[in-house]
Amino acid sequence: MILNEKEELELLRNASKQSFEILYHRYSGKLYNFMMKVSKGDSYTAEELVQQTFIRVWENRENVNPEKSFISYLCTIAKNMLLNRYEHQTIQFIYEEYIKAKVIDNKNITEEEVDRKLLEEYLDKLADKLPPKRKEIFVLSRKEGLSNKQIAQKLNISESTIETQLSKALSFMKGQIKQHYDHVLVILITMMII
């Protein structure tokens, strides 16, 4: 019996591997063709993103909306992955050019040390924006390497509070990085030009 898209998606939401396979075979070719267009004919990227998209669909199957177009959902996921990849490649290129321009004279500093220092400085600035107790927990965890249990004992609070505060701190930092992505990119480009 052949089911329609909506029925297959309902089954997928309930972890049906058979429905997942049917949807994969039904839509992977269409998604591949779409990705070939948006990636300007890069067959390796198109193929890889088709696979990653379907992996993400399986991992988040309970969030699939059977009332909406599945191919549109797939295309949106794949396109966002491609944009993220391009953004990452752009930042990597700019950073590599910056390293070549600014650090090439200092033979004692490795690229990893520069990465670590820049990341530490940026995270320190973000940590300064956290509420005092959350910042203290973050510093104890990330800078001093204490476990949640050790922090809980040291501050005389529950481990679940530590987990919640760390989760909020990381969520804040991730949001700040996303929000200021363009600004950070401009700074990197400016530093490269100077």
Of 158 and 175, which is predicted with more confidence?
A: 158
Give CATH for domain 5-87. Answer: 1.10.1740.10
Distances (CA, A) of 180 to 32, 82, 122, 167: 32, 20, 12, 20
Q: What is the pLDDT of residues 167-189, one digit of tens each?
A: 888 888 777 766 655 555 554 44
Q: Specify the pLDDT at position 51.
A: 93
DSSP string computed for 96-165: HHHHHHHHTT-TT--HHHHHHHHHHHHHHHHHTTS-HHHHHHHIIIIIS---HHHHHHHHT--HHHHHHH
Is 23 or 124 the better-scoring residue by pLDDT? Answer: 23
Mean of the per-residue pLDDT values of the chain: 80
Helix (H, G, I), strand (E, B) or coil at 79: helix
User: Which of 10-24, 96-110, 116-130: highest mean pLDDT?
Assistant: 10-24
Distance CA 87, CA 96 (A): 14
Between the two ends of the chain, the Cα-to-Cα distance in Å is: 66
Bigger pLDDT: 191 vs 164: 164
At residue 193, the pLDDT reads 43
**Stated pTM of the model:** 0.51
Q: Are 47 and 32 in contact (CB under 8 A)?
A: yes
Structure tokens at 12: 């997928």
**pLDDT at 24 exceeding the cut of 90:** yes
The residue whose two tokens read 């203290």 is 136
- Share above pLDDT 90 across residues of the chain, in percent, rounded to a whole number: 24
The arithmetic mean of pLDDT across residues 23-47, rounded, is: 90
Note the Cα 85 to chain centre separation in Å.
10
Class of domain 106-193: mainly alpha
For residue 113, the one-letter residue type is E
pLDDT grade for 103, boundaries at 50, 70 and 90: low
Q: Where are the domains of the chain?
A: 5-87, 106-193
Alpha-carbon distance of 69 to 129, in angstroms, equals 41
